[in-house]
Amino acid sequence: MSREPNAQEYFDGLYQQSDDPWLLRKRWYERRKRALTLAMLPVERYAKAYEPGCATGELTAELATRCDTLLAADMNADAVEHARRRVAHLSHVRIEQRSVPDDWPEGRFDLLVVSELAYYLDDGQLSRLANRLTDSLAPGGTVIACHWRQPIEGWPHSGDYVHDELSVKLPLARLSHYQDEDMILDVWSSDAASVHRREAV
C-alpha cells in the first residue's frame, strides 16, 4: 500500500537535488507565467501583500514592484534562504518560513497570491486555505491564483480542480480568468468593478 505524499519530505528532496527545482529563473514558461500574473492584477499598486509558497523568490521580486510591503513565505528552509538572497536589496519585502494553510500570518492583506501551491494540499487543507484567504483579505482586496494544469506525479489534485474548488469556496467575484494547455490563472475580489470602472470613480 502506498502512503500519502508528505509535502515536507517532497520539497526537502527537491531542494537537495537543485537550488532551482522548477527552473524558475531559466524557463520562458516561468517568465511568461509571471508576466501574465502581474498583468492580470486589477490594481496598479497594493499597500500590503502576502505570497505563501514563494519558492526561490522569483515571483516575489516581481510582485515587490507592485507592493508597498510584501510578506512571502515557504515551508522549506532552503527555499527561504534562496528567496531572502533574491530580494535582499528590497527593504519592503520580508521572507519567513511558514507552512500552508495553518501557519498563517496575522492581519489583513490587500493582495493574496496563491501560485503553484494549492494542489499539494488535501481537501481539508484546501478548504482551510479558502477560509484563510477569505478571512485575511482586506475590503476590496485581490486574490490571484495560478497553477499548472498537467498531472503532478504522486499528488491527487490538478490545477483545474484547485481553481474549481476556490471558485466555489471563495465568497468573491471572479474578475478574470485565463487558461491554456499548461496553466490556469484566476483573479477574485470583493470589489467586482473592472479596471476601467475603478479608475473612473
Global pTM reads: 0.89
Strand, coil or helix: what is 128?
helix
pLDDT of residue 2: 41
pLDDT of residue 173: 97
Phi, psi of 175 (to 5 degrees): -85, -35
- Give the dihedral sign, CA 102/105/108/114: negative
In CATH terms, the superfamily for domain 7-200 is: Vaccinia Virus protein VP39 (3.40.50.150)
pLDDT of residue 156: 75
pLDDT of residue 1: 35
pLDDT of residue 3: 43
For cell 522548477, the residue is 22
DSSP readout, 20-70? STT-TTT-HHHHHHHHHHHHT-SSS-EEEEEEES-TTSHHHHHHGGGEEEE
Strand, coil or helix: what is 192?
coil
- Give the dihedral sign, CA 186/191/197/201: negative
Domain boundaries, given as residue ranges, for the chain: 7-200
The grid cell for 65 is 514592484
**pLDDT values of the chain reduced to their tens digit, one per residue, 201 residues:** 344 556 676 655 555 666 665 566 778 999 999 999 999 999 999 999 999 999 999 999 999 999 999 999 998 998 999 999 999 999 999 999 999 999 999 999 999 999 999 988 999 999 999 999 999 999 999 999 999 998 777 777 899 999 999 999 999 999 999 999 999 999 999 999 999 999 886
